[in-house]
Amino acid sequence: MKLPFGIQKDLVVGLDIGSHAVKVCQLKRSSNGYAIVTLGSTVLPEGAVDDGSLNDSEAVGKAIADLFKNLKIKNRTVGFSISGYSVIVKKVNLAVMEEAKLEEHIMSEAEQYIPFDLEDVYLDFQDLKTNSKDTDRTDVMLVAAKKEIVDDYLEMLRGINLNPVIVDVDGFALENSYEHNYRISENVALVDIGAAKMNINIISQGISVVARDIIVGSRQLTEQIMNVFDIEFDEAEAIKLGFLPAEGKKQEVGEIFSTTCTQWILEIKKAIDLYHSNHPDQPLNRLILSGGGAKVAGLIDFLTQETEIPVELFNPFLKMVSNPKKIDPDYLLSIGPEMAIATGIALRPSAI
Ligand SMILES: Nc1ncnc2c1ncn2[C@@H]1O[C@H](COP(=O)(O)OP(=O)(O)OP(=O)(O)O)[C@@H](O)[C@H]1O
Ligand SMILES: [Mg+2]
């Protein structure tokens, strides 16, 4: 919605609190789109965030507060996203109704769609308006998030003097970032591979038709390197990222990469097969990979070969301008895949 007289609400600062790292991104509107104000990330202590829940609020709060301080971010109004077992996203097909009627219907019927006690969740919905001339039914996206988990995040953020106004969902934020940067008339699979989970979101004609979280990610690689060579996390992570030479370990490290990537690809193929069986006349045009795990060397070629679909890395800054004197263009390019979700949140206005 456009506010009168050209006044538009500020954008929130986007916070993606992952299990490995917090990513922050601040954007502003510019004359022909968006400009990057600042961005950055910081690694979290092991276990501080696990399966979408905040296990160590103090450590995460401190990491975020330090990041805001170092990046000199003055805007305290933030959005963050949730994922994992505490959030359920479900598409239901309902008769077309007016907004107020739809809300009433969902509140009274939600129990059959959501496997949680309704008292324990925040519930939201959006009519996707998929009804066509020949049908009076439409798809409605339901989101239920456990209050306990969301409240932990809100409390942590308020505790460091931030003002959280938007609770997003990882998959939606990814989709938002995609819509701002790419041609949305395509059929595309967005795949975010983080440290502990992979989010697959297949979008056909601008509508999300397959969405799932799978418990795999780049930390698997680190853990296997730790186990096979009996070494600590930091050393294994450094070997994985190629910062430490894998002397005498090359072959085993190669095998760890290849078995794990094969498992990831199998999961991606399962989602693509499901999509193709439901949309045989809408072949996928491409796969766009984000998250730190997307940067595994050779993954793009391997996936292209296995799926026979063009694969590329997500660039959330494709249509954004930035000052190369303030933000190194090489840094932007390398951090892009990890920043996809934070950018998708940072594109949200602070109020509608
Ligand atoms: N070049 C690379 N090769 C392999 N793994 C990488 C590479 N670069 C980063 N990673 C891994 O990506 C992960 C971090 O990515 P990301 O920030 O997307 O995860 P996260 O959002 O914190 O995790 P999650 O979404 O699973 O909670 C870490 O496990 C890191 O080691
Ligand atoms: Mg993530």
Closest CA to 195 of 326, 39, 76, 341: 341
**Checking phi first, is residue 291 left (phi over 0); if not, alpha (psi -120 to 50) or beta?**
left
For residues 16 and 80, the answer to whether their CB atoms sit within 8 Å is yes
**CA distance linking residue 317 with residue 180, whole number of Å:** 9
3-state secondary structure of 132: coil
Q: Is residue 121 part of a domain?
A: no
Q: Is 216 in contact with 263 (CB distance < 8 Å)?
A: yes
Ligand 1 centre from 31 Cα, in Å? 34
In this structure, is residue 203 part of a structural domain? yes
**Residue 4 Cα to ligand 2 middle (Å):** 36
Q: How far apart are the first and last CA of the chain?
A: 7
Both 174 and 191 in one domain: the answer is no
Residues listed for the chain: 352
Token pair 């990330």 in the structure block, residue: 41
Phi and psi of 314, rounded to 5°? -65, 130
Query: Are 216 and 176 found together in one domain?
Result: no
Dihedral sign, CA of 219, 223, 228, 229?
Answer: positive
C-alpha span between 235 and 218 (Å, rounded)? 15
Q: Are residues 303 and 343 in the same domain?
A: no
106 assigned to some structural domain: no
Q: How far is the CA of 137 from the centre of ligand 2 (A)?
A: 34
Query: At 72, which CATH number?
Result: 3.30.420.40
Residues having CB within 6 Å of any atom of ligand 1: 18-21, 194-197, 217-219, 237, 240-241, 291-293, 295-296, 338
Q: How far is the CA of 37 from the centre of ligand 2 (A)?
A: 21
Domain annotation covers residue 5: yes
> Cα dist. 305→88, 97, 279, 289 in Å?
33, 45, 22, 15
Residue 124's pLDDT is: 92
Give pLDDT, residue 86: 86
Identify whether residues 221 and 245 lie together within a single domain: yes
pLDDT per residue as tens, the chain (352 positions): 444 454 557 899 999 999 999 999 999 999 889 999 999 999 999 999 998 899 999 999 999 999 999 999 999 999 999 998 889 988 899 999 998 999 999 988 888 888 889 999 999 998 988 888 777 899 999 999 999 999 999 999 999 999 999 999 999 999 999 999 998 889 999 999 999 999 999 999 888 899 999 999 999 999 999 999 999 999 999 999 999 988 888 999 999 999 999 999 999 999 999 999 999 999 999 999 999 999 999 999 999 999 999 999 999 999 999 999 999 999 999 999 999 999 999 999 987 5
DSSP assignments along 171-212, one per residue: HHHHHHHHHHHS-TTSEEEEEEE-SS-EEEEEEETTEEEEEE
Residue 161 lies in a domain: yes
Mutate to test the pocket of ligand 1, among 168, 218, 223 (most ligand atoms within 8 A of CB): 218
Q: Which amino acid is at 233?
A: F
In a domain, 51, yes or no: yes
Around 122, how many Cα atoms within 13 Å sit in the side-chain half-sphere? 14
Amino acid at 223: E
Structural domain that includes position 210: 183-314
- Clarify whether residues 72 and 170 are in a common domain: yes
Does residue 202 share a domain with residue 164? no
Residues lining ion ligand 2 (Cβ < 5 A) are 18, 194
Q: Are residues 216 and 303 in the same domain?
A: yes
Give the chain's domain count. Answer: 2
User: Do 18 and 154 fall within a single domain?
Assistant: yes
Q: Are residues 20 and 152 in the same domain?
A: yes
Judge if 332 and 292 occupy the same domain: no
Q: Is residue 212 a part of any domain in this protein?
A: yes
Is the same domain home to 58 and 168?
A: yes
Residues 178 and 188 in one domain: no
Instruction: Tell me, yes or no, whether 115 lies in a domain.
Output: no
**By C-alpha distance, which of 125, 96, 100, 129 is closest to 110?**
125
Q: Which residues, listed in sequence order, are joined to residue 193 by a DSSP beta bridge? A: 198
